[in-house]
């Protein structure tokens, strides 16, 4: 698949780039500063597109030039606090606007992967999300609102919602063999293997249930990167129009 990757110089983006190369995709990167790309990776790219990820016109032009089948956005970091602001909402808005226009012009949806956080996931059997208990990274809720407003005939979106991600190793090109989507449990809408054991505790049950489990949902940057790269090999992905939760498999 021809993929346009935004945020290729970041911690996750550099590993998504590595995974896309490993899985045989034709990759173009959209970056503000090409000098931040690893020197050894240039020859493995179809093209390097320079631009501002908050400007939909520049993203659209790059996507058209590269004839991409999919856009993956890992650019932008959400503000942790409710009163903080980041450039992530603007980036998501720009990506979705560009993708909508391309999908409408092509007559079929453009595949798009976006990144949010675990707080966006629903709690099984409840009408709440994790973020409703711990009010962190509220901008991810804006991402969810934006994708839900997009006409489905124009954009085939998915939103990855991991917990804390850590590097498995320094970035390599292609991705290290130890990194694999097979290391992950994956589910739509809710966290994989989420327990409800404390929900019956009066008043504080919801908080206890959340706090007792969050630390168990750490994953590696590399495994998440490989998951996205593998999914883009699928003609009919089961994760289209889904927020996606992940958890490391027990070894």
Short-list 61, 56, 76, 55, CA closest to 28: 61
Asked if 160 contacts 113 with a C-beta cutoff of 8 angstroms, the reply is yes
* pLDDT per position as a tens digit, 48-100: 999 999 999 999 999 999 999 999 999 998 877 777 788 999 999 999 999 99
**Cβ neighbours, 10 Å, residue 109:** 21
Structural domain boundaries in the chain: 2-248
pLDDT at 84: 76
Asked if 89 contacts 53 with a C-beta cutoff of 8 angstroms, the reply is no
CA 154 – CA 142 distance, rounded (Å)? 19
pLDDT at 184: 98
Q: Which two tokens stand for residue 136?
A: 């962190």
CA 184 – CA 39 distance, rounded (Å)? 30
CATH for the stretch 2-248: 3.40.50.720
Buried b (16+ CB within 10 A) or exposed e, 49-71: beebbbebebbbebbeebebbbb
- pLDDT by residue, tens only, the chain of 251 residues: 999 999 999 999 999 999 999 999 999 999 999 999 988 899 999 999 999 999 999 999 999 999 999 999 999 988 777 777 889 999 999 999 999 999 999 999 999 999 999 989 988 877 778 877 777 788 888 999 999 999 999 999 999 999 999 999 999 888 888 999 999 999 999 999 988 777 777 767 777 877 878 789 999 999 999 999 999 999 899 999 999 999 999 87
pLDDT at 176: 86
pTM of the model: 0.93
């Amino acid at each position: 698949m021809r993929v346009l990757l935004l945020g290729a110089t970041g911690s996750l983006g550099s590993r998504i780039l590595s995974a896309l190369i490993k899985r045989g995709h034709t990759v173009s990167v959209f970056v503000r500063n090409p000098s931040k790309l690893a020197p050894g990776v240039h020859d493995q790219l179809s093209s390097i597109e320079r631009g501002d990820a908050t400007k939909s016109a520049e993203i659209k032009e790059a996507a058209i030039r590269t004839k991409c089948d999919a856009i993956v956005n890992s650019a932008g970091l959400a503000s942790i606090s409710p009163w903080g602001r980041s450039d992530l909402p603007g980036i998501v808005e720009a990506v979705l606007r560009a993708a909508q226009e391309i999908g409408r012009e092509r007559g079929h949806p453009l595949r798009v992967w976006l990144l949010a956080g675990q707080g966006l996931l629903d709690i099984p059997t409840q009408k709440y999300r994790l973020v409703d208990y711990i009010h962190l990274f509220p901008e991810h809720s804006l991402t969810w609102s934006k994708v839900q407003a997009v006409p489905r005939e124009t954009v085939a979106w998915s939103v990855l919602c991991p917990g804390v991600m850590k590097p498995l190793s320094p970035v390599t090109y292609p991705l290290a063999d130890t990194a694999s989507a097979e290391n992950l449990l994956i589910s739509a809408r809710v966290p994989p293997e989420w327990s409800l054991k404390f929900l019956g505790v009066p008043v504080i049950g919801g908080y206890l249930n959340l706090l007792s489990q969050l630390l168990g949902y750490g994953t590696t940057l590399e495994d998440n990167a490989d998951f996205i790269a593998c999914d883009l090999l699928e003609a009919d992905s089961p994760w289209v129009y889904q927020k996606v939760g992940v958890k490391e498999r027990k070894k």
